[in-house]
């Protein structure tokens, strides 16, 4: 990552002209007053915050540091700015940032190819104060909000999101339509249903997910696996396993099964892969000519990337540290923190594109949390560089080197992720530390021989 990537990413997601355009159109700044809307937005997105001072208090401190003395604001005035119009502005900026991320080229080599992009769905729950129980009723707590996210595998970042009360179930919040034509979907059991499989077939969408324990598939044919005896078409899958017609001898099983009955019945592939504690069972409509059972399993394991992105939201952007008591303030903080995570993800994606294009695969990749911490530690320098449009490229390169040095993954050689292996971003393990130390020391053999010769004399 160099200064050009860092500058273009920040200016592409936090664009000054777009901020001013939305602020005027939404009525955030109705008349000329002392509020500097660009500095305010940058402070909300890039400020670090902490449990002691609070996220908004840290943003206000950063704002007052960057503006002129006559534009400084007191705490009451600052919190008065966090109204519904400001929340609408921040959500529009999230939409603009996701559009910028969607404009980047995807990176889908190997078995990840064959589709426009692989999309992962999941939700994360944020506990709120009890005063918001009427707006965001929770299930385990009085008030909580769910962030339903769509993560692009090809670009490594969020491409869509929406909010809902935590009490609502996940499944109704995923609707498959023409927007997903030619794409692939990875989702967990909370979104799985027979109707969803039918929607995937209707809209030419590839999918891979686990088999629900309550589903009772019937077997039409078996193309791979050890079979003992005969079975008729439509035999119950569980009975074939119980009667050991399908022998689980450590090898994979690939079959065509039917789920549901009557008009609601659907046909798809069922693959079984031996795991550490038993067989893992997946359903998919990927063709056997391009994706075997192990490839289907590897694809589903890529779904864990959204769990890592949720961890980035909560640990890196402090998404779970919202202590606001008004709906508008909650929406503002959610949007600001999601934009912070989006900046981290886009920087990682562009760094991966640079590594593969220039042959830097043996260089360590950027780590989500490490990069987020590096950005937070230098957010004051980044805000200053953004506010002054004539910041020289050498200074951006200086900031990029500082952030990249702290944001590299130190364990990427020994413990590459499944996605790193599929993307080809791996390298052989380095020499053991003891061997490195031994190679650096001068050889002791001449000294031993001289000592032995002296002792013999």
Residues 6+ apart with CB under 8 A from 272: 225, 248, 252, 253, 254, 279, 280, 281, 293
Q: Using CA atoms, how far apart are residues 258 and 218, in angstroms rounded to an integer?
A: 5
Indicate the domain borders of the chain.
3-104+325-407, 208-295
pLDDT (tens, 9 = 90+) of the chain, 457 residues, equals 889 999 999 999 988 889 888 888 888 875 556 678 888 888 888 875 555 456 788 888 888 888 877 788 888 888 888 889 999 999 999 999 999 999 999 999 989 998 999 999 999 999 999 999 999 998 878 899 999 999 999 999 999 999 999 999 888 899 899 999 999 999 888 889 999 999 999 999 999 999 998 899 999 999 998 888 888 888 999 999 998 899 888 899 999 999 988 888 999 999 999 988 889 999 999 999 999 999 999 999 999 999 999 999 998 888 888 888 899 999 999 999 999 999 999 999 999 888 888 777 777 788 999 999 898 888 888 888 888 878 899 999 999 999 999 998 877 777 788 888 888 887 777 666 665 555 555 554 454 455 555 555 5
Q: Using CA atoms, how far apart are residues 444 and 451, in angstroms rounded to an integer?
A: 11
Q: Using CA atoms, how far apart are residues 297 and 284, in angstroms rounded to an integer?
A: 10
- Helix/strand/coil for 115: coil
Specify whether the CB–CB gap between 224 and 252 falls below 8 A: yes
- pLDDT recorded at residue 427: 74
Q: For the purposes of burial, counting CB atoms within 10 Å of the CB of 252, is it exposed (0-12), middle (13-18) or buried (19 or more)?
A: middle
* Helix or strand (DSSP H, E) at 386: helix 379-387
Alpha-carbon separation of residue 341 from 13, 51, 318, 347 (angstroms):
11, 19, 10, 10
Angle at 12 between CA 110 and CA 58, to 5 degrees: 110
DSSP state of 179: G
CA dihedral 102, 107, 112, 113 (to 10 degrees): 90
Alpha-carbon separation of residue 251 from 224, 244, 276, 278 (angstroms):
9, 14, 13, 11
Q: Using CA atoms, how far apart are residues 363 and 351, in angstroms rounded to an integer?
A: 11
Q: Using CA atoms, how far apart are residues 237 and 9, in angstroms rounded to an integer?
A: 51
The owner of tokens 């600052």 is 78
Q: Using CA atoms, how far apart are residues 246 and 271, in angstroms rounded to an integer?
A: 12
- Asked whether the CA dihedral 279, 115, 11, 25 is positive or negative, the reply is negative
Specify whether the CB–CB gap between 75 and 319 falls below 8 A: no
- pLDDT recorded at residue 147: 94
- Asked whether the CA dihedral 320, 373, 404, 44 is positive or negative, the reply is positive
Specify whether the CB–CB gap between 288 and 254 falls below 8 A: yes
For the stretch 152-181, what's the b/e string if a residue is b when 16 or more beta carbons lie within 10 angstroms of its beta carbon?
A: bbbbbbbbbbebbbbeeebeebbebeeebe
- The residue among 198, 152, 146 whose CA lies nearest residue 176 is 198
The owner of tokens 């989006």 is 342
Specify whether the CB–CB gap between 351 and 360 falls below 8 A: no
Q: Using CA atoms, how far apart are residues 311 and 315, in angstroms rounded to an integer?
A: 6
Supply the DSSP string of 201-257, one letter for each residue: HHTT-EEEEEPPTT---EEEEEEESEE-S---TTEEHHHHHHTTSEE-SSS-EEEEE
Residues 6+ apart with CB under 8 A from 167: 137, 138, 139, 144
Residue 94, CA atoms < 13 Å, CB-side half-sphere: 27
């Amino acid at each position: 990552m160099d200064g050009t990537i860092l500058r273009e990413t920040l200016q592409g997601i936090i664009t000054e002209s777009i901020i001013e355009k939305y602020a005027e159109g939404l009525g955030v700044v109705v008349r000329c007053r002392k509020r500097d809307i660009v500095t305010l937005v940058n402070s909300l997105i890039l400020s670090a915050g902490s449990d002691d001072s609070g996220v908004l208090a840290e943003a206000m401190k950063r704002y007052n540091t960057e503006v002129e003395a006559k534009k400084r604001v007191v705490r009451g005035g600052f919190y008065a700015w966090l109204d519904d119009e400001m929340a609408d502005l921040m959500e529009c900026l999230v939409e603009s940032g996701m559009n910028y991320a969607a404009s980047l080229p995807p990176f889908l080599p190997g078995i990840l190819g064959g589709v426009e992009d692989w999309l992962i769905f999941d939700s994360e729950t944020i506990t709120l104060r009890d005063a918001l129980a009427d707006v965001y009723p929770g299930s385990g707590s009085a008030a909580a909000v769910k962030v339903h996210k769509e993560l692009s595998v090809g670009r490594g970042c969020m491409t869509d999101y929406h909010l809902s009360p935590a009490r609502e179930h996940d499944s109704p919040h995923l609707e498959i339509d023409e927007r997903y034509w030619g794409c692939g979907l990875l989702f967990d059991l909370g979104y799985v249903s027979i109707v969803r499989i039918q929607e995937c077939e209707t809209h030419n969408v590839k999918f891979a997910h686990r088999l629900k324990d309550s589903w009772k598939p019937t077997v039409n044919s078996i193309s791979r696996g050890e079979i003992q005896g005969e079975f008729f078409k439509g035999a119950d899958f569980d009975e074939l396993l119980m009667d050991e017609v399908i022998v689980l001898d450590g090898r994979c099983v690939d079959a065509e099964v039917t789920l549901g009955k009557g008009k609601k019945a659907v046909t798809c592939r069922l693959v079984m892969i031996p795991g550490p504690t038993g067989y893992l069972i997946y359903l998919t409509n990927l063709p056997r000519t391009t994706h075997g059972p192990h490839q289907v399993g590897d694809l589903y394991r890529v779904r864990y990337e959204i769990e890592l992105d949720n961890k980035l939201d909560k640990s890196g952007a402090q998404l779970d540290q919202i202590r606001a008591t008004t709906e508008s303030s909650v929406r503002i903080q959610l949007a600001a923190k999601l934009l912070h995570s989006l900046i981290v993800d886009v920087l990682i994606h562009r760094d991966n594109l640079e590594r593969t294009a220039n042959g830097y695969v043996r260089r360590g990749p950027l780590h989500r949390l490490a990069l987020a911490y590096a950005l937070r530690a230098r957010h004051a320098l980044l805000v200053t560089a953004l506010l002054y449009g004539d910041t020289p490229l050498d200074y951006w390169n200086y900031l990029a080197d500082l952030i990249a040095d702290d944001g590299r993954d130190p364990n990427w050689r020994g413990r590459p992720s499944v996605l790193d292996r599929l993307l080809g971003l791996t390298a052989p393990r380095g020499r053991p530390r003891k061997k490195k130390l031994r190679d650096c020391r001068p050889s002791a053999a001449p000294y031993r021989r001289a000592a032995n010769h002296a002792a013999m004399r």
